[in-house]
Structure 1
Amino acid sequence: MLWVKSLHLLFLISWFAGLFYLPRIFVNLADETTPAAIERLLLMARKLYRFMTLLAVPAVVFGLWLWLGYGIGKGPGNGWMHAKLALVILVIGYHHACGSLLKKFETARNTRSHKWYRWFNEVPVILLLLIILLVVIKPF
């Protein structure tokens, strides 16, 4: 079980590194006017999004393995796991929202400001904090 947990954490941390960095690229894209710089940032964003997606899959698979295979968070008194799973669904939705925003940048249809992306960039930090608190403290 410790191998599965270690791999889950490794892929989770790597995935979140991308979730922290991609919106930062969006901040720069929303503020950039130079075509060459925009193309460079789009290339970076495309590569990062593809890599993040590859990291998300094993993070979710190993997490499901821990939950379903080893029974972590099952049974009475494990309401924290339901809350955590709801937050994980929000993280996956955030990941997909990043892909949608990337497509808008690629087709020059972005209408949001760099300030909006600065706030958007904080969402995964809050989600990760809440998930960590639920897993460590198990409040309910």
Structure 2
Amino acid sequence: MAREGRRVIEPNIYTYNILIDCCCRSRHPDLGPAFFGFLLKTGIKADIITFNSLLKCLCDMMQMEEALNMLLYRMPELPDSISYSIIIKSLCDNGRSQCALDLLRMKAKKGADHYPGLVAYNRPI
């Protein structure tokens, strides 16, 4: 990133968020988890935008079980409505509408902090 005599600019959370998102958009979702690994090695704390981009990459790679596991158990922050929409869209697109409905029912029982949002509810319909 730096040439002789120039200042070195270290990547930050915004840099990694852009890189992970661009991997999905450029049809190379397999690179998203690699950049996520680099982010973790640098000690930068991932935010909800990072996790949503990573969820999208996992869904694009058809790794639905890994994406569901991340959504339900490994996200340090509460998932937002975008997180649910990503997973539910992918489940429905891959013929797993019943699993999407089960996820919605399970999260609706947990309380107001876990509501997936209107877009997520409309997708299985």
TM-score using structure 1 length:
0.28
Greater Cα radius of gyration, structure 1 or 2: 1
* TM-score, structure 2 normalization: 0.30
More helix by share: 1
